[in-house]
Chain A
Amino acid sequence: MKQLMLGNAAVARGLYEAGCGVASSYPGTPSTEITEEAAKYDEIYCEWAPNEKVALEVAFGAAVAGKRSFCGMKHVGLNVAADPLFTISYTGINAGMIIGVADDAGMHSSQNEQDSRHYAIASKVPMVEPSDSAEALEFTKLAYEMSEKYDTPVLLKMCTRVAHSQSIVETSDRVDLPIKEYTKDIGKYVMMPANAKRRHPVVEQRTKDLIAYAENCPFNRVEMGDTKVGIITSSTSYQYVKEVFGEKASVLKLGLINPLPEKLILDFAAKVDKLVIIEELDAIIENHCKALGLDVTGKDVFPLCDEFSQNLIAEKMGVEVSEGLKLEDNIPVRPPVMCAGCPHRGMFYTLQKNNCTVMGDIGCYTLGAVAPLLAIDVTACMGASISSIHGFNKARGSESESKTVAVIGDSTFMHSGMTGLANIAYNMSNSTVVILDNSITGMTGHQQNPTTGYNIKGDPAGKIDLEALCKAMGFNRVRVVDPYDLEACDVAIKEELAANEPSVIISRRPCALLKYVEVKPPLVVDCDKCVGCKMCMKIGCPAISIKNGKACIDKTLCVGCGVCKQLCKLNAIKEA
């Protein structure tokens, strides 16, 4: 049946049709929907793992046990999962295994713009790269065949524009595969030095075999047109090239991105006058072509930064593009903001008010860094808040310990905050950690995690008790505050920073967007009392603005959290 399907949903459909039995992932934009959609098929066991390393190892275990498996993550997630990736490349698999990784050129929702193709090359694992939903579905199925034929995990690389665009797919039925036999094979699966030494040449031979396969595989294709210019491209760049040139240009479209073919590229190059490589981010295909001795145009013309578009390619290729209409007015930017009623807001206001140095982390609460809160000093990667506050405090001593705080969300804490906390307990810095527990993985669109008590399907599941966990690690000072209560937040921050031992403050209130959270009636401003002092504006709530010199609350946005009301010294903000 023909249907319009999101790229990520098409991967999930491919998993279903190919008989995938186990999927374990950690959410991350733009990869999240693969596993969410896969979870809608009862035939696939799906779960959210605490982090990508765990997810990849779960999928590995399932593949060794004999079931086709999957794990999904965003590009930076593959950094976390890199350890098992490099060694699973040596062991190979039993049943097929796919690692879905979604890059984010343009950084729509990411902290960096790294190119995952480097991982495929470095770990010597084949990588396929679809350019639309139909290919996402087809490549997923073909990837399992390649995985089993060559005894290797396969990386399936998505990017934002393939993951989050819908295009037409044709679905078919699921093949039900019997579980493969598992046979104990120490030489293959136990990677101690002597065995790994024997496996490394196997990996090198596999790469040679895969190069031969790449010369004539269903992932790569040549579309000959005019031979003045030949374009080698892949992924969403292929779609932009076709948008500009249609059937006119000669194109070598690569779907198997590691390893890259040699003869196929040389033959294509021989047929065209000039060779142009069009690829987002790094010069992977370009460097391969140069190593083959080809003279190519690539990153000398096309940018290393940001995502491409049809106009960018047209301009760089000397094709005219139409200019749009412009206004002379400066259009103010509209950056993302913490939602009205966001439970993180009260805690960030408190940290700013107390002049704290704040080590931040990855999640909705990264938005605490923007004006007017400006409450975060450093944000690097998942879990870094807790590890780096320890380093910060070791470097600066008690002067820093009395005013520095780490903030981390519940899901991020489960992902990679716990090990940092263990380090604080073990190596004894007097650090203060705030766990912003909003009872969900927020930024990626509400996924459950080990602290919520529910699994990916929303069914009851194991629930980790954060207070008990922190106490078990050796923290004597563990306290819970409600971030809607500014007075309680202020007392907690002041007391824990002053304390002579490390502490954990759990700032607990569910995300205001969760369906079960009761929304209170919007608050109103008594214009007779309001003097326009803007105290209520200090929390950066999108529902509050100044109109005609007085505060004004947008009743369509306000959820009645009452944080602004606590700031108003004139009692001008009240219930309607």
Chain B
Amino acid sequence: MTKNIMIVGVGGQGSLLASKLLGRLLLDCGYDVKVSEVHGMSQRGGSVVTYVRFGEKVYSPIIDKGEADVIISFEKLEAARYMEYLKKDGRIIVSDQEIDPMPVITGAATYPENLIEKMKAAGANVDDMDALSLALEAGSAKAVNIVLMGRVSTYFDEIPEEAWLKALEACVPPKFLELNKKAFALGRAGK
């Protein structure tokens, strides 16, 4: 059975490291893996999405509506945008940051209120967290991605914590390893 993880956010937020970590981890665990990224124009502050799929044999590199087991979002509006990709019993892990898109900045649109509550009301399992504060506690705002990875790790019983840490060591430069390990632990604890 193929499992599907989506990473969504705003171009430049660091989803590439998150997908690199997941790819490495799942390959080490012996799965067939496909990871699909967006390059080019969307990276300039647009809405970006990365698809990670793993299982015995993976065909399509992308995830379609109603298929995602987990959606990891760096930002609330992006979580709401991609919610329709979630499976019925799937889960959204969302950093409760708000980044205004240009139509909101120019006043052509408004940023919807109470998105977390609305997503829950629509039937989604939402795990919202202040990932930015945890990242700052670990030592850098840039570690939001690893905080979120720590949280994701609690939803895959089939993958032991040591495997996550091993993949982290393989993907992060040594001088940032301690910081990222701390970010991972804080995210995993979820507080």
Contact = CB atoms under 8 A, between A and B. Distances in A.
Contacts of B37: 6, 164-166
Nearest to A238: B59
Interface stretch (B84-92, B173-181, B182-190): B84-92
B40 A30 contact: yes
Contacts of B80: 327, 329, 331
Contacts, number: 193
Contact of A4 (B10, B35, B105): B35
B39 A29 contact: yes
Range class of the A interface residue count: 35 or more
Interface in A239-285: 239-240, 242-243
B41 A443 contact: yes
Interface in A317-347: 321-339
Nearest to B35: A166
B65 A321 contact: yes
Contact of B77 (A32, A322, A331, A336): A331
B64 A309 contact: yes
Given A323-B65, A325-B86, A556-B141, A333 B103 contact: yes
B83 interface: yes
Interface residues of B, number: 63
Contacts of B83: 324-327
A443 B40 contact: yes
B69 interface: no
Nearest to A329: B112
Given A239-B60, A242-B59, A326-B83, A4 B42 contact: no
* Residue with the highest number of chain B CB atoms closer than 10 Å, among A323, A332, A370: A332
Contacts of B24: 4
A166 B45 contact: no
A543 to B, nearest CB: 9
A147 B119 CA distance: 55
Nearest to A133: B34
Given A322-B66, A540-B106, 9 more contacts: A30-B39, A108-B42, A161-B61, A165-B61, A165-B62, A323-B66, A325-B84, A327-B112, A332-B104
B11 interface: yes
Interface in B40-98: 40-47, 51, 58-62, 64-67, 77-78, 80-81, 83-88
B46 A236 contact: no
Nearest to B123: A325
Nearest to A336: B46
Nearest to A311: B64
A540 B105 contact: yes
B126 to A, nearest CB: 11
A371 to B, nearest CB: 5
B27 A324 contact: no
A332 B37 CA distance: 22
Interface string A17-38: 0000000000001101100000
Given A339-B44, A339-B45, A4 B23 contact: yes
Given A29-B39, A321-B66, A339-B45, A240 B122 contact: no
23 contacts: A108-B40, A108-B41, A109-B41, A164-B37, A165-B35, A165-B62, A166-B35, A239-B60, A239-B61, A240-B60, A311-B65, A322-B65, A322-B88, A325-B88, A327-B80, A329-B115, A332-B104, A333-B47, A334-B78, A336-B11, A336-B44, A338-B45, A542-B100
B139 interface: no
B106 A537 contact: yes
A242 B32 CA distance: 15
A324 B101 contact: no
Contacts of B46: 334-337
A321 B105 contact: no
Contact of B109 (A164, A243, A328, A330): A330
A265 B49 CA distance: 37
A445 B42 CA distance: 11
Contacts of B115: 327, 329
B36 A325 contact: no
Contact of B42 (A109, A309, A339, A546): A109
B62 A309 contact: yes
A3 interface: yes
B1 interface: no
B61 A29 contact: no
A157 to B, nearest CB: 16
Contacts of A240: 59-60
B8 to A, nearest CB: 10
B14 to A, nearest CB: 12
Contact of A132 (B27, B61, B119): B61
A195 interface: no
* Residue with the highest number of chain B CB atoms closer than 10 Å, among A4, A338, A556: A4
B39 A336 contact: no
B141 A445 contact: no
B101 A327 contact: no
A338 B41 CA distance: 10
B2 to A, nearest CB: 8
Contact of A168 (B32, B102, B141): B32
Interface in B120-161: 122-124, 141
A330 B108 CA distance: 12
A336 B45 contact: yes
A513 to B, nearest CB: 9
Contacts of B102: 334-335, 337, 370-371, 540, 542
Nearest to B12: A339
